[in-house]
Amino acid sequence: MKHIRSVTVLGAGTMGSQIAAHTANAGIPTLLLDLDAKTAANGLARARKLKPDPFFTKHTHRTITVGGFDSHLAQVAESDWIVEAVVEQLAVKQELLRKVEQYRAQDTIVSSNTSGIPIATISEGFSDNFRQHWLGTHFFNPPRYLPLLEVIPTTDTKPEVLKTMVEFGDRALGKGVVVAKDTPNFIGNRIGLYGVMRVLEQLVNGKYTIEEIDAMTGPLLGRAKSATFRTLDIAGIDILTHVMNNLVTQLETDEERAAFELPPLIQDLNARGWHGQKTGQGFYQKMRTESGTEIVTLDPQTMKYRARTRPQLPALDNAQSIDDLGTRIRT
């Protein structure tokens, strides 16, 4: 079985930079590439400022070397694992990976962090050797803190390649690894985003506010404090859009296809460039005030931000008084 002692991450955006941070946390020398070295360096710098911190220590980032597709791509030949984390567009991924194929060693494992583009589709037309060492490795944001790692083999993936990535994800990266089938959006996003769409319906229809929904879908249900809308801001509303549009395209005959069609609210947020944390505003916005910072909430009816309000739901208050999670959910 192959031992992974060096890693290349393709793409220094929100996910790529944090995946690089986590492989660095594991003590693995990591090459982080983007369009050019400056772009990669900027991505790494942004990752170092993120909260919660993607790095174990303030010095861990020194394990990462930055470079550019324009001048450092040949260095992927020295890596045992190459993980692609560029924009969720099939053509972009394929164009970059064709360049990677020219340099990678014959036994180097290559994977994609795509949120839902079929893994086999990305590798169509590539060499037999490439496809035998190719699979999906889908991390969740933020990679250091969310334990799930979906590993998605294709029918061409060698069994030993799958075994290597499962054991590496478990032992080296500390992940809860789930082997998923190469179906649209795999497991986590297929289930989770169905729930997100049902919640968005309630917001758009005016039944509940953003604060009320987040109060109901966070720790109250045993989930993260970021709940629904803070999670979407962290993940990126633009990423949500790519993933959902990809799913709708693939589910041509599915009876639930319409359930994944995004409401105009999301289209409006994208048109305004309000993609969440990466752009400084989405469903929430952090504003600087004379007394420090204040987090305000989007009013979807006016598309303006307002002061946050405390949820006024008697049933919510009653549920919060129940300590046992199982009892609380069943009540």
pLDDT level of residue 274 (50, 70, 90 thresholds)? very high
pLDDT averaged over the chain? 94
d(CA 102, CA 73): 10
Query: In order of start, what are the domains of the chain with their CATH numbers?
Result: 7-179 (3.40.50.720), 188-330 (1.10.1040.10)
pTM: 0.87
Written in H, E and C, the secondary structure of the chain is: CCCCCCEEEECCCHHHHHHHHHHHHCCCCEEEEECCHHHHHHHHHHHHHCCCCCCCCCCHHHHEEEEECCCCHHHHHHCCEEEECCCCCHHHHHHHHHHHHHHCCCCCEEEECCCCCCHHHHCCCCCHHHHHCEEEEEECCCCCCCCEEEEEECCCCCHHHHHHHHHHHHHHCCCEEEECCCCCCCCHHHHHHHHHHHHHHHHHCCCCCHHHHHHHCCHHHCCCCCCCHHHHHHHCHHHHHHHHHHHHHHCCCCCCHHHHCCCHHHHHHHHCCCCEHHHCECCEEEEEECCEEEEEEEECCCCEEEECCCCCCHHHHHHHCCCCHHHHHHC
Is 90 exceeded by the pLDDT of residue 224? no
The answer to whether residue 331 scores a pLDDT higher than 80 is: no
Reported confidence tier of residue 57, pLDDT bands at 50, 70, 90: very high
Which pLDDT does position 312 carry in this prediction?
84
Q: Can you give the pLDDT at residue 159?
A: 98
Stretch 242-266: mean pLDDT, rounded?
Answer: 90
Cα dist. 135→113, 200, 205 in Å? Answer: 9, 32, 40
Residue partners of 178: CB distance under 8 A and separation at least 6: 148, 149, 150, 151, 187
pLDDT in tens, 209-218: 999 999 999 9
Residue 330: pLDDT band with limits 50, 70, 90: confident
Mean pLDDT is lowest, of 42-46, 48-52, 193-197, 327-331, for: 327-331
When pLDDT is cut at 50, 70 and 90, the band that residue 314 belongs to is: confident
**Is residue 252 pLDDT above 90, yes or no?**
no
Mean pLDDT of 9-31: 98
Residue 53 has pLDDT above 80, yes or no: yes
Confidence of residue 170 (pLDDT cuts 50, 70, 90): very high
Taking alpha carbons only, the member of 110, 152, 150 closest to residue 129 is: 110
